[in-house]
Structure formats: structure tokens, C-alpha cells
């Protein structure tokens, strides 16, 4: 994966595959602590202790069933390359939280990439999910919550080319307010 | 969250009305971009965006765009499946680039002609 926003999309696709209705994505760039934190939380089916153990382990992963793949291993690798790490908390029937940390200034830290493309891609997944997206950078913050838009619009779908185009424009503007 | 402007909400609402009409009629065309790990690594997100932009630019209201998981053909990613109402089978397009997207939308979605050189095989998958 070229950048972290692609990893985030991949991890959020796991949430959708796990039947999540709500996904929250929190990205925090904290220069004062030289830390980048990414948290993806869902209310999907969660993982049993056994899946959880293997999901975090790329070696066990590749040698067992197709049930286990390598998206999580790739994120873990990206975090460790930048002096960080990845942890997964998961409870069957309740949901999963994947947290990855990176040394912000590390030379091998992948760039964040285009978070707006990642969020809009999630909005047109084949099953509808609520997405909460928070992107904080040194005290400034973008918050995007599909629930808020839906509350204003009633129970209609956000997945249409026009709606997503409007949201893309809005998010790009919001992200610009974070620029250094 | 900063306010999305009222006129933006109105635009979304209008778009959604089309969408509901589409859902009821199931849409004339369905485009599904595969978004598994291999697909994402090979550029599927950019392909999805390119599809959305092409459909928007052509002002097509009878196309549903979705993404879904791995199609199990990692070496052929990025991939998408197009289903057109009334056609015998969905068509899977492989090794996509934004240029191929423009051509496929012009030929297949607008004119009903399968772009054979970009297609994998007929009838190997259904998305609904
Ligand atoms: N959010 C999640 N909720 C439930 N199970 C998950 C979640 N993320 C990952 N898993 C489990 O961990 C496995 C490995 O995930 P991953 O490394 O992304 O590979 P893949 O998605 O290709 O299987 C998944 O197959 C699934 O069983
Ligand atoms: Mg995965």
C-alpha cells in the first residue's frame, strides 16, 4: 500500500465484511508528541480469541485458511517500520477496534494520503454503513458524521454519485482547514 | 462538524430521490468495484473515483455504483463488474486504468457494447 489512507480503507472494508453498521475512523497527528495515531472502530461481529490471535500474526496467517488474509499484517508492518505498532481489541458480537501508531517524523512513515477518497469510497460500499470520521492535527479538527447528514435528510441514502460528489467537495474544503 | 450548506443538503436530497427511484427499479446499470486488499493495493480506490466522476460528468442517473470485497483474482486487480439490465450476464473488467474506465463507460454503459479486450469472462459473477 502506498499510503496510510489506503490501509485505512482496507481495514474499514474488514469492518464492513464483519457486518458493521457503524464505523469510526479517527486520525490524530500530534507533532508535539511526534505521534500519528489511527483508530478504526466498528460494531461488527468481532473476533473469537483464536481469530484474534492469528489475525495479528502474518506468519500464522499465510499458512492457514483463506479466512485469514494479510490486510492487518500489512498495517502492522507499516506501523512497525515507523517505530510504532498495531493492536487489536475485539469482542465477539460487539465489535473490533484496530489501533495503529507511528512516529510522525519517522523517515519510513508512509504519508497519510487522501482521506477524502477513502471516506467517499466507504460511502458507496454495497451495504450502507454510518461513518464517523475525525481528523485532528495539532489542535485543529475535522469531524464528519454521516448520521448528522442523515438526521437532516431523513432516512435517505447517501450513496449516489451526486451526493458523494457534494460530500467530496465539502470534505476537501474541511481538510484544507487543517493544512500546515 | 462544520455545517454542510443548506444548498448542498438540497443537492444531496435531490440526488437521493433519483436513488430511491433507482432502487425501486433496481437501476439499469450496476457497477461494482472490487475493494479487497489486493484491489486496493493495485489502485481500486482511484478506479472507483474515476467511475464516479465519469458517471457524474455524463449526468447518468440510472447507474448504481458500489464497491465490495475481494473477487479472488489478485493478479487481475483492479477489477470491476458491470451488470446491465437485459444483458445475459455480468461482465468483469480486469487490470483497469482510468483510461480504460472512460472507454468502458462510453462503449458498454452508454452503447451496450462490451469492451472485449478489457473483459475477463462472461457470466462469472453476479452482484445481486
Ligand atoms: N473488523 C473486523 N471484525 C471482525 N473480524 C475481523 C475484522 N478485521 C479482521 N477480521 C478477521 O481477521 C481476518 C484477517 O483480516 P485481514 O488481515 O484484513 O485479511 P482478510 O480481510 O483478507 O481476511 C479476517 O479474515 C477476519 O476473520
Ligand atoms: Mg482485510
Domain segments of chain A: what residues? 4-179
Distance separating alpha carbons of residues A155 and A167, to the nearest angstrom: 17
Ligand nearest to the CA of B74: 1
**pLDDT above 80 for A145:** yes
* CATH level 3 topology of A4-179: Heat Shock Protein 90 (3.30.565)
A24 lines ligand 1 (CB under 6 A): no
Q: Is A43 in the pocket of ligand 1 (CB under 6 A)?
A: no
A19 touches chain B (CB under 8 A): no
A63 pLDDT band, cuts 50/70/90, is very low
- Classify residue A57 by burial, with Cβ atoms within 10 Å: 0-12, 13-18, 19+: middle
Name residues with Cβ closer than 5 Å to ligand 2, which is an ion: A 14, 71
Tens of pLDDT, residue by residue over A3-33, are 999 999 999 999 999 999 999 999 999 999 9
> Across all residues in chain B, what is the average pLDDT?
83
CA distances from B73 to A62, B70, B77 (A): 17, 8, 7
What residues in B contact A165, CB-CB < 8 Å? 52, 56
Ligand 1 geometric centre to CA of A61 (Å): 10
Q: Where along chain B do its domains lie?
A: 28-126
Considering only CA atoms, which residue is closest to atom 20 of ligand 1? A69
pLDDT digits (tens, 9 = 90+) for B65-104: 999 877 778 889 999 999 998 899 999 999 999 999 999 9
What residues of chain B lie within 8 A of the CB of A121, using their CB?
35, 45, 48-49, 67
- Is the pLDDT confidence value at B19 over 60? no
CA gyration radius for chain B? 15
CATH homologous superfamily of B28-126? Glutaredoxin (3.40.30.10)
d(CA B97, CA A82): 31
pLDDT attached to residue A67: 46
Amino acid at each position: 500500500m502506498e499510503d496510510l489512507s489506503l490501509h485505512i480503507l482496507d481495514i474499514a472494508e474488514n469492518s464492513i465484511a464483519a457486518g458493521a453498521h457503524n464505523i469510526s475512523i479517527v486520525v490524530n497527528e500530534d507533532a508535539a508528541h511526534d505521534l500519528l495515531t489511527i483508530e478504526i472502530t466498528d460494531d461488527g461481529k468481532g473476533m473469537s480469541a483464536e481469530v484474534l490471535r492469528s489475525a495479528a500474526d502474518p506468519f500464522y496467517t499465510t499458512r492457514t485458511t483463506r479466512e485469514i488474509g494479510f490486510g492487518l499484517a500489512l498495517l502492522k508492518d507499516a506501523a512497525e517500520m515507523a517505530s510504532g505498532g498495531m493492536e487489536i481489541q475485539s469482542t465477539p458480537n460487539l465489535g473490533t477496534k484496530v489501533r495503529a501508531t507511528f512516529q510522525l517524523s519517522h523517515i519510513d512513515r508512509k504519508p497519510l494520503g487522501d482521506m477524502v477518497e477513502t471516506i467517499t469510497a466507504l460511502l458507496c460500499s454495497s451495504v450502507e454503513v454510518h461513518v464517523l470520521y475525525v481528523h485532528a492535527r495539532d489542535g485543529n479538527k475535522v469531524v464528519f458524521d454521516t448520521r448528522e447528514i442523515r438526521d437532516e435528510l431523513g432516512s435517505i441514502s447517501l450513496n449516489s454519485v451526486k451526493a458523494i460528489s457534494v460530500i467530496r467537495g465539502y470534505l476537501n474544503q474541511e481538510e484544507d482547514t487543517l493544512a500546515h | 462538524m462544520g455545517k454542510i450548506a443548506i444548498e448542498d443538503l438540497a443537492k444531496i436530497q435531490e440526488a437521493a430521490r433519483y436513488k430511491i427511484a433507482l432502487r425501486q427499479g433496481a437501476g439499469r446499470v450496476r457497477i461494482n468495484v472490487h475493494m479487497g486488499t489486493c484491489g486496493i493495493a493495485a489502485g481500486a480506490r482511484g478506479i472507483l473515483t474515476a467511475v464516479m466522476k465519469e458517471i457524474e460528468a455524463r449526468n447518468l442517473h440510472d447507474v448504481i455504483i458500489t464497491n465490495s470485497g475481494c473477487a479472488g483474482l489478485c493478479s487481475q486487480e483492479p477489477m470491476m463488474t458491470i451488470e446491465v439490465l437485459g444483458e445475459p450476464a455480468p461482465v468483469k473488467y480486469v487490470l483497469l486504468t482510468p483510461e480504460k474506465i472512460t472507454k468502458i463507460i462510453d462503449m458498454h454503459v452508454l452503447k451496450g457494447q462490451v469492451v472485449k479486450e478489457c473483459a475477463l469472462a462472461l457470466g462469472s459473477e453476479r452482484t445481486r
